[in-house]
Amino acid sequence: MDNEVLKCLRERRSVRAFKPEQITDEELKAVLDAGTYAPTGMNYQDPWIVAVQNPEIIKRLVKMNAAVMGTDSNPYYDAPTIVLVFASRPEKWKNGVPDASLVLGNMMNAAHAIGLGSCWINREREMFDTREGIDLMRQFGLPEDLIGVGAISLGYPANQIPPARPRKEHYYRIVK
């Protein structure tokens, strides 16, 4: 069985090198919109999505993430857009992190479908648990009781996307 959606899912890869030019507003909105259609528990629509294209804020995010990682490199791979996803703390909504993870996945698949590259980035929870992170959340207009779940680096791939590596044997089971 095959169709365009299944083909897109098989071909999407993490991109770790981006061209410096910014993506279009239309492309960004398509990716963000796809994120809003991710399934959420009880259709609660708990995740919060923040797309950052402001170079000064991106520099702050890079510095914060690199500090958590213990490096001086750019954990967002110099992408011109960073999309952050937040959720309610588990004590408030137990499905917040899984729901936000689905949002990130939808956005990465949508990005690939329209010719953009993306890569899931971690450490947002640690970043936004800091005073600086809380201040940024306030600047973004978010409630302070959220947690950072993850982010995607988003932009035009600088290199050709390689084919998928073979899937491991026995990746799934069918029990009838």
What integer pLDDT is reported at residue 93 of this predicted model?
96
- DSSP designation for 42: G
Question: Is the pLDDT assigned to residue 60 strictly greater than 90?
Answer: yes
Q: What is the pLDDT of residues 139-148, one digit of tens each?
A: 999 998 999 9
With a pLDDT cut of 90, the percent of the chain lying above it is 99
Is the distance from CB of 115 to CB of 30 less than 8 angstroms?
no
Superfamily name and number for 19-155: NADH Oxidase (3.40.109.10)
* Cα dihedral sign, 15-166-110-104: negative
What ranges do the domains of the chain cover? 19-155
Mean residue pLDDT across the chain: 97
